[in-house]
Structure formats: C-alpha cells, structure tokens
Amino acid sequence: MIKPLRLLALAGAASLSLTTSALAQPATETAVLAGGCFWGMESVFEHVKGVKDVVSGYAGGSSRDASYDKVSGEGTGHAEAVRITFDPRQVSYAQLLKIYFAVAHDPTQVNRQGPDVGPSYRSAIFPQNAAQKQLATNFIQQLRARGNKIATKIESGGFYPAEAYHQDFARRNSNYPYIVINDAPKVAKLKRTYPQFYRA
C-alpha cells in the first residue's frame, strides 16, 4: 500500500498544472478506476466529498460479455471497476487518484486484491480523456521513481454497469462478512487519513 504522505505533494503539483478557472470547468467529470472488487471501490468513493455518483461495473472487454458470471470466469478481459461522476470544483481528478492509490486498493498487487485473485481484480486506470491519461501516467511514473512497485496499468475500453444487485452493495449490506473484513476498513482509513475529503 502506498504511504499517503508521499502522495500529498504529487497530487498538489498535478492539480496546479491542470488548474483552470472555475467558470471554465464542467459541472461534472467522469473517472473510471479498477482496483479489485467493485464493492469496496464503490464504498470508498461514495464517501468522498465532491463525488456525485459511483457505479459498479466492468471496464475493458466487450459489451456482450459484460456480466458477472462471464467476467468472474476470467476469460473476457474485463476488470471490475467503478465509474465515478465528480464535481471538479470540489475534488480534482488528481485527488481521486491520491485516494485510489493510498486508500481504495493496493496498487502493488498483480491481478489480485486481498482474497480476490484473477485478472478481473487487476489495478487499472481507464482515462476518459487525454488530460486524465497524462496525469495518471505521470502519477504512476513518479510513484515508481520513488521506489514503489506499482502494478497499475493504463488501459482503454468501455465501461458497462454491473447488475443491479451489485450497486451500493456495501451500503445496503454493511454487516455482510466480506464488507466488514475487506471494505469497511478502507472507509475508516479514508476518514482517518484524509478527513478533508471524507463525508459520512
């Protein structure tokens, strides 16, 4: 797991380089991030100030194969991912990346997160535009330059929402053992480490 303090200066510098006037910024932007089971990723980002919506789904691969049964069979090329709609006037893409690397998952693990193993649980960023791609690439390069063994890849491909029963799973099933063991600690870490980003 990446130490949060190492990301503070990096995200701040990245934010400064991409700053535009508030009037020029769109009302919302979209980020697509993969980092293990989408239940946990969704749960973390739902608690970030400025995030308007988080949808669990499948990134990469083709639309015809974007179902839980097929993706979990590890033959479709998809990654479990989340699509985050956010207000860039409240939280920047760089700040979302900071949370992604330091809280939401372990970017040093290859094709797994905790108990979940396989390519569909890989660490991957799916940039939605050229600026996001450049920022994510720079982020990874600088983390690696500091000695971190980052497994995260920059990928392309569409996003396909998961089945309804996966949406808001952690919020609706807070006592489910998997959530208690694997995902609730991530939300607690967000609140503890980055209180300026946390919302209940």
- pLDDT tens track for 159-169: 999 999 999 99
> What domains appear along the chain, each with residue ranges and CATH number?
4-17+24-193 (3.30.1060.10)
Distance CA 190, CA 124 (A): 20
Quickly count: other Cβ atoms within 10 Å of residue 67's Cβ: 16
Quickly count: other Cβ atoms within 10 Å of residue 169's Cβ: 21
**Which residue ranges in the chain fall short of pLDDT 70?**
1-25
C-alpha 59: how far from chain center:
12
C-beta separation of 198 from 95 below 8 A = no
Beta bridge partners of 153: 124
> In the numeric block, which tokens belong to residue 199?
């919302």
Integer distance in angstroms from the first to the last C-alpha of the chain? Answer: 24
> What is the predicted pLDDT for the residue at 21?
44
Distance CA 166, CA 34 (A): 15
pTM (2 decimals)?
0.88
Distance CA 7, CA 21 (A): 24
Please identify every residue annotated as catalytic: 37
